[in-house]
């Protein structure tokens, strides 16, 4: 035990040395900023300016301006503080907390206190939550790549939908998760065993210069049975229903056009159209399931319908 205490003291001293070189900047902090960044206090939950910030950009250290987090790694954990499931490589230092239980995170350059990091909670596929004080951060908005877009589909077990859509040229990534329910950050077992209202869904990230929303949607209608009303294949239940979550009127018109075409081809389409709501990633064990398993989907397959 004495060795652990000694180790923590050494780490604390090394942080103090880092902060000394930024003492002039530290002196310009407000009393509350100084208390959190230098004295390692915690900002009150649900009070930080970046808690609900959904803009695209970079979060930097308030003290030394080093870049720490990307907005792409920010997620809603409903914990009261901004949450990130990853850091910019080498930007954040992980240290044993003085309480002997948690892991503190500090700016790797100046040692300024950021918050704490937790693992194994299952919020995202990376299974990591950087719980960061807004007051320790600055934010710079960066224009997102206008050629990169996201689309959302639900067609039964997300494993099969992900398997086929990620094979399309121009699709950069497909993420399995949940949409449309009333529970924040649902787990897989909450969705399949209780009535959270979510559908198993996928988030498709694609390059609009290489593939269109319509092309992806047409494939979606051909890799699952859009006429099944109670699930998909042997997977029966509300969470397995067929649906498209649209981002705008153009996507809605595209889906309606495709459904009209399918009906003219003799298909009694049951697919629902919803407005896009918050998408919750499933944990890592549910990502790229069939690729990891080395097998093929059991309730999805390609059938030409157009």
**Mean pLDDT throughout 60-87?**
95
Same domain, 30 and 118: yes
- CATH number, domain of 163, equals 3.30.1060.10
Same domain, 216 and 92: no
Q: Is residue 300 part of a domain?
A: no
Of 141, 168, 188, which closes a domain? 141
The C-alpha atoms of residue 188 and residue 207 are separated, in whole angstroms, by 29
Residue 63 binned pLDDT confidence (cut-offs 50, 70, 90): very high
Q: In this prediction, what percent of the chain has a pLDDT beyond 90?
A: 80
Residue 3 binned pLDDT confidence (cut-offs 50, 70, 90): very low
Checking if the pLDDT of 10 tops 80, the result is: no
Residue 20 binned pLDDT confidence (cut-offs 50, 70, 90): low
**Mean pLDDT throughout 262-291?**
94
- CATH number, domain of 7, equals 2.170.150.20
Q: Is residue 100 part of a domain?
A: yes
Checking if the pLDDT of 7 tops 50, the result is: no
Same domain, 263 and 171: yes
Q: Are strands 103-107 and 113-119 parallel, antiparallel or unpaired?
A: antiparallel
Same domain, 28 and 131: yes
Same domain, 204 and 126: no
Of 116, 141, 166, which closes a domain? 141
The contacts of residue 85 (CB under 8 Å, 6+ apart) are 73, 75, 123, 124, 126, 127, 128, 129, 130
Same domain, 105 and 8: yes
Q: Is residue 302 part of a domain?
A: no
Let me know: does 126 contact 41? Beta carbons within 8 Å: no
Of 119, 141, 163, which closes a domain? 141
Same domain, 195 and 158: yes
Residue 77 belongs to what domain range? 2-141
The three-class DSSP label of residue 221 is helix
* Least confident residue range of 25-39, 144-158, 210-224: 25-39
The three-class DSSP label of residue 32 is helix
The reported pLDDT for the residue numbered 18 is 62
Q: What is the count of structural domains for the chain? A: 2
Give the catalytic positions in this structure.
Answer: 131, 157
The contacts of residue 215 (CB under 8 Å, 6+ apart) are 168, 170
- Model pLDDT for residues 77-136, shown as the tens digit of each residue: 989 999 999 999 999 999 999 899 999 999 999 999 999 999 998 888 889 999 999 999
Q: Is residue 278 part of a domain?
A: yes
Q: Is residue 299 part of a domain?
A: no
* Least confident residue range of 7-21, 129-143, 182-196, 205-219: 7-21
The three-class DSSP label of residue 215 is helix
Q: Is residue 273 part of a domain?
A: yes
Q: Is residue 134 part of a domain?
A: yes
What is the average pLDDT value for the chain, to the nearest integer?
92
The C-alpha atoms of residue 202 and residue 200 are separated, in whole angstroms, by 7
């Amino acid at each position: 035990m004495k060795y652990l205490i000694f180790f923590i003291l050494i780490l604390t001293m090394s942080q103090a040395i880092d902060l000394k070189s930024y003492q002039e900047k530290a002196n310009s902090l407000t009393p509350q900023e100084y208390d959190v960044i230098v004295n390692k206090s915690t900002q009150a939950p649900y009070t930080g300016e970046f808690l609900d910030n959904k803009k695209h950009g970079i979060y930097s250290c308030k003290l030394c301006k080093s870049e720490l987090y990307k907005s792409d790694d920010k997620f809603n954990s409903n914990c009261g503080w901004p949450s990130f499931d990853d850091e910019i490589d080498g930007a954040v230092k992980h240290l044993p907390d003085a309480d002997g239980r948690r892991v503190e995170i500090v700016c790797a350059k100046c040692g300024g206190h950021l918050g704490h990091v937790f693992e194994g909670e299952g919020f995202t596929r990376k299974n990591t939550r950087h719980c960061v004080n807004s007051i320790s951060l600055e934010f710079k908005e960066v224009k997102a790549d206008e050629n990169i877009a996201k689309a959302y589909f639900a067609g039964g077990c997300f494993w099969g939908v992900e398997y086929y859509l990620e094979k399309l040229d121009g699709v950069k990534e497909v993420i399995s998760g949940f949409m449309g329910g009333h529970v924040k950050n649902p787990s897989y077992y909450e969705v399949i065993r209780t009535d959270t209202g979510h559908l198993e869904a996928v988030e498709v990230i694609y390059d609009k210069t290489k593939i269109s929303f319509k092309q992806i949607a047409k494939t979606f209608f051909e890799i699952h049975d859009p006429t099944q009303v109670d699930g998909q294949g042997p997977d029966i239940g509300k969470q397995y229903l067929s649906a498209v979550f649209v981002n705008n009127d153009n996507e809605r018109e595209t889906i309606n056009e495709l459904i009209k075409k399918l009906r003219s081809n003799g298909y009694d389409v049951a697919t629902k159209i919803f407005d896009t709501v918050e998408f919750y990633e499933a944990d890592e064990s549910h990502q790229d399931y069939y690729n990891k398993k080395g097998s093929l989907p059991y309730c999805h397959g390609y059938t030409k319908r157009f």
